[in-house]
Each structure stands twice: as C-alpha cells, then as structure tokens.
Amino acid sequence: MSEQLPPPLSTAGSVPPDPDRPAPLERSAPARGAGGRGRLGGGAGRSVGLVVVLLLVCVVGVATAGERFASVDNLLTILRFAAVIGVLSIGMTFVITGGGIDLSVGSVLGLASVWATTLATQTMAQDTHWSLMVLTALLVGTVCGLVNGVLVAYGRVVAFIATLGMMVAARGLAEVIANRRTQIVRVQPFLDAFQGSVLGVPVLVWVFALVAVAGWVLLNRTTFGRRTVAVGGNPEAARLAGIAVKRHTAYLYALSGLTAGIAAVMMLARTTAGSSTNGGLYELEAIAAVVVGGTLLAGGRGTVVGTVFGVLIFATLTNVFTQNNLSISAQSVAKGAIIVAAVMLQQRFAARSRGA
C-alpha cells in the first residue's frame, strides 16, 4: 500500500492560519498609505493656508496702522490677549475632536476667577501660599468640566444642552458668590508671579505656549489622543475596539474644565480682579478659533497647531480693528464671516474626501 501523505499546508481549512503572520494586504495597504499621505498633505496644506491668512492680516495691519501695529509692544499685546483665549481653545480642541461641544468654558472661567478671589480664599493664600488661589481655580474648573462630562456620557444628555445649562448655572453661581461685585486680587506674590516676564516675554504667553505644547503631545503622541480621535470619528467602532467611550468622554470635558481653570488664573493676573463677567462669550471665541484652525465640528479630526494659528488670527484681527478705531459691531461681522467661510470649506473638503 502506498503511504498516506498529509495534505499540503496551503490547502484551505486544513491548518489554521498563523496568528503571528500578517494577512496579505495587496489591496488594503496601498489605500491606507494613500489615505495617510492625503491626510498629511491636507494637514500641511491647512497649516500653510493659516500662515498665509495670518501674514495677510499682519500686512493689512502694517498698511493701515503703520508703526503702531508693527511695534514690539503691540506684538506682545496681541500675544497677551491671545493667551487666555488660546488656553481655552486647546481644551475645546479635545472636546470637539471627541465629537462634543462645550458652551460653558467662559462661564466656568468666570466662576473659577470669583471663587479664587473670595475673601476666605485670599486670606488663606496670604497665610499659606499664593498657589492656593491657583489650585482653587483649577479645582473649580475641573469639577465643572467633570459634571458636564458625566451628564453627557452617563446621563445621555445632549452636549449642547448639558453645557448650555452649565453655562447659565456657573454664571449665576458666580454672581451669587461675588454679590455682583468685582473682587480685587490682594495677594501681591500671586500678581508678581504671573505679571512678570521671562526673556522679555510675558509669563502669560509662556503659560499659553506650555499648554499648547502639552496639548499637541497629548493629542498626537499618546494613547489618549488616539482614543479621542477614535471616539469622535465613530463612537460605536471605538467601543467595539475596547475603548471605554463614556469614561473617555467624561475625561475630555474634565480636561476642558481644567483649561478653563488655567485661563481663569491668567485672567486674574491680567485684570487683577475676579468678576462674574469674566469670560463673557469666550466660549464662542474658542470655538471659532478651533473651527478656523481646521478641527472638524463633527469630530474625528483635530489639530492643536491649527487651533493656535486660529487664535493668533483672531487676536491679530481684533488688534487691527482696534488700531483703526473700528467698532465692535464691525469686528463681530468680520469674525462671523470668517467662521461661516471656515465651516463651508470644511464641508467642501469633507465631501471631496468622501467622493475620493
């Protein structure tokens, strides 16, 4: 009798596939590579476009205001003005990338600034250390953000409604605590720490730069950032991939609250006063900067670099208007037109990507 030979290993179904051997990717690999190159090119193109827009605004400023705009002092004024909105915008970038929205950051900023400047808080800070005021503002902001996150993620409340409620509640609580009065910062070491300069650059600008760098690393070089993009792009797919979507969503809103607390500290240093009116409409400024910077309102794509450029564009544009004595109404119209144009471009690029 002839010896029975085992079937060849290539026979389908005879031997289970080796889990360590990658599957053939003749069709999928080129598509993925092309998509990666497209995303890289698109991101670089958006950044270049933002730089061009910023340069054009600067040219208009020099042409209309001359040396008043081009002076070093005015440049530092623009950066100092952009710093507070910029920190808020970094936190907003994460929330929008994760598929949410936070309308409460301006009110949370106001509440944190009021709570950090109450008589009790400032007395304790004078008796211990000025950093107690900083910790108070950060804690208030983080708690408010976490409440938003719990409502959205676990309470299944629409993000727009949950954060709108927090916006109203935080502003009202700030008015109750401050009794609608302005609370002057009387802890001089606190002011000395944040009103100074390092290498000729205001401390507030350095804080903005550090937050921006930390945000970029967190979004682009960590698992947290990859999960944020996944949750914003397709929450159900992210859940099936093992990501705790609800918990991650709560973390995103807590992060947004934390940046609101940092911005409150910066606001106290800039204005030397805590007030329930601090941060009025700052949430709209932050959202505008994030959208103009290239982060998708629908979620799934975010860029911290683009957000920084968006903040600088709006801050410079505001300064140009101020230098030319244009009204607040004209500024609002111009900013609104820029926001609408940015959203229309986003939709056009998204439709083109789907068609490709």
- CA dist 244 and 251 (Å) reads 11
**pLDDT at 356 (0 to 100):** 54
Structure tokens at 145: 């953000």
Is 22 exposed, middle or buried, given 0-12, 13-18 or 19+ CB atoms closer than 10 A? exposed
Is the distance from CB of 305 to CB of 216 less than 8 angstroms? yes
Query: In terms of Cα–Cα distance, which of 254, 226, 265 is closest to 242?
Result: 226
- CA dist 212 and 305 (Å) reads 8
- CA dist 53 and 297 (Å) reads 21
Q: Is the pLDDT of residue 23 over 60?
A: no
Domain ranges of the chain: 51-355
Query: In terms of Cα–Cα distance, which of 263, 260, 163 is closest to 208?
Result: 263
- CA dist 168 and 175 (Å) reads 11
**pLDDT confidence of 328, banded at 50, 70, 90?**
confident
Query: In terms of Cα–Cα distance, which of 89, 75, 98 is closest to 279?
Result: 89
**pLDDT confidence of 12, banded at 50, 70, 90?**
very low
Query: In terms of Cα–Cα distance, which of 311, 210, 224, 309 is closest to 259?
Result: 210
Residue with tokens 């940092």: 262
Is the distance from CB of 257 to CB of 115 less than 8 angstroms? no
**pLDDT confidence of 119, banded at 50, 70, 90?**
very high
CA-derived radius of gyration, the chain: 25
Question: For 129-182, how does the pLDDT look when each residue is reduced to its tens digit (9 = 90+)?
Answer: 999 999 999 999 999 999 999 999 999 999 999 999 999 999 999 999 998 888
Question: For 83-113, how does the pLDDT look when each residue is reduced to its tens digit (9 = 90+)?
Answer: 999 999 999 999 999 999 999 999 999 999 9
Q: Which long-range contacts (CB under 8 A, 24 or more apart) does 57-63 make?
A: 57/313, 57/316, 57/317, 57/320, 58/316, 60/320, 61/316, 61/319, 61/320, 61/323
Q: Is the pLDDT of residue 33 over 90?
A: no
H or E stretch at 197: strand 197-198
Q: At the topology level of CATH, where does 51-355 sit?
A: ABC transporter involved in vitamin B12 uptake, BtuC (1.10.3470)
Other beta carbons within 10 Å of 349? 15
Q: Is the pLDDT of residue 26 over 70?
A: no
- CA dist 107 and 279 (Å) reads 6
pTM (two decimals): 0.82
Rounded to 5 degrees, φ, ψ at 198 are -125, 120
Q: Is the pLDDT of residue 347 over 90?
A: no
Structure tokens at 90: 């970094």
More confident residue, 300 or 108: 108
Cα 296 to Cα 197, 233, 279, 346, 355, distances in angstroms: 35, 10, 24, 7, 18
Structure tokens at 27: 């069709």
**pLDDT at 304 (0 to 100):** 94
- CA dist 4 and 10 (Å) reads 17
**pLDDT at 327 (0 to 100):** 78
Task: Share the mean pLDDT of the chain.
Answer: 84
